[in-house]
């Protein structure tokens, strides 16, 4: 896979005109866009129309966390919007993940469309040790990540979402049995809500299969130059 195809653009704004402008600047070369509640809920039909007009794939980042049947009955929509990747929370549990995995195969056969890859979210990159402790998780971040990754792999996920700090930990313990997607990727350190960050080049060297570019790209005045600089740095 070409390195540019490992890059995912995060659309974290509700302004549909801004979304359209960003996509005009960076697609091509980027081919996958991440949409979550901020971008999708106010603009559902329009944003899908724009994405489809540019022949882009979707990372549907809603971090499904519900009873198995509810998640199962939400999956057909993912096939309709050209979803390449979607996220589910590992704390949904083995039953939910297994149910989703089986339903994806059923829909793939029924619709004749390749199923999207399911990536499990472990510990959010905005969390640090103190925040984990505040919600009752006494183990350190690494221990919690490993436990949730193992559960997710056994339940049938294609990949896991983790911070750059956990890439080597996961590779060391699970090898190539699971793909790795890394958010919180930056060209430089900044003071904001992402506690555990890494540069794009570092993430790929450590073994990430996909990396998500958000504010490090979308807040730049010259986005075309920025994305070209990022690709050259890889």
The residues annotated as belonging to the active site are: 63
d(CA 171, CA 98): 23
CA neighbor of 217 nearest in space, from 82, 16, 33, 2: 33
Residue 28: asked if its preceding bond is cis (omega within 30°), the reply is: yes
60: Cβ contacts below 8 Å, ≥ 6 apart: 35, 78, 81, 83, 85, 86, 87, 116
CA neighbor of 152 nearest in space, from 97, 204, 83, 223: 97
CA distance readout (Å), 200 to 149, 186, 234: 22, 7, 7
Burial level of 230, CB count in 10 A (0-12/13-18/19+)? Answer: buried
Beta strand extents in 27-178 (DSSP E only):
32-35, 57-64, 83-89, 117-121, 159-161
If one counts every other C-beta atom within 10 angstroms of the C-beta of residue 169, the result is 17
Q: Write down the H helix ranges in 81-128.
A: 94-111
């Amino acid at each position: 896979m070409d390195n540019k195809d490992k890059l995912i653009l995060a659309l974290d704004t509700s302004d549909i005109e801004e979304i359209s402008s960003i996509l005009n600047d960076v697609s091509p070369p980027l081919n996958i866009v991440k949409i979550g509640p901020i971008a999708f809920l106010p603009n559902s039909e329009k944003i899908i129309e724009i994405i489809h007009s540019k022949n882009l794939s979707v990372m549907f980042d809603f971090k499904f966390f519900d009873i198995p049947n509810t998640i199962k009955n939400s999956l057909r929509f993912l096939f309709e919007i050209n979803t390449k990747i979607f996220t589910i929370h590992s704390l949904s549990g083995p039953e939910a993940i297994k149910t989703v995995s089986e339903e994806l195969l059923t829909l793939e056969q029924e619709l004749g469309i390749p199923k999207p890859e399911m990536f499990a979210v472990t510990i959010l990159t905005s969390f640090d040790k103190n925040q984990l402790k505040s919600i009752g998780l006494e183990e350190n971040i690494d221990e919690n990540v490993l436990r949730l990754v193992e559960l997710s792999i056994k339940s049938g996920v294609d990949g896991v979402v983790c911070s750059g700090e956990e890439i080597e930990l996961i590779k060391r313990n699970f090898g190539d049995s699971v793909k790795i997607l890394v958010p919180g990727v930056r060209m430089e350190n900044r003071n904001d809500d992402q506690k555990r960050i890494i540069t794009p080049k570092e993430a790929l060297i450590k073994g990430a299969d996909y990396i998500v570019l958000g504010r490090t790209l979308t807040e730049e005045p010259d986005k075309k130059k920025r994305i070209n600089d990022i690709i050259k740095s890889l």
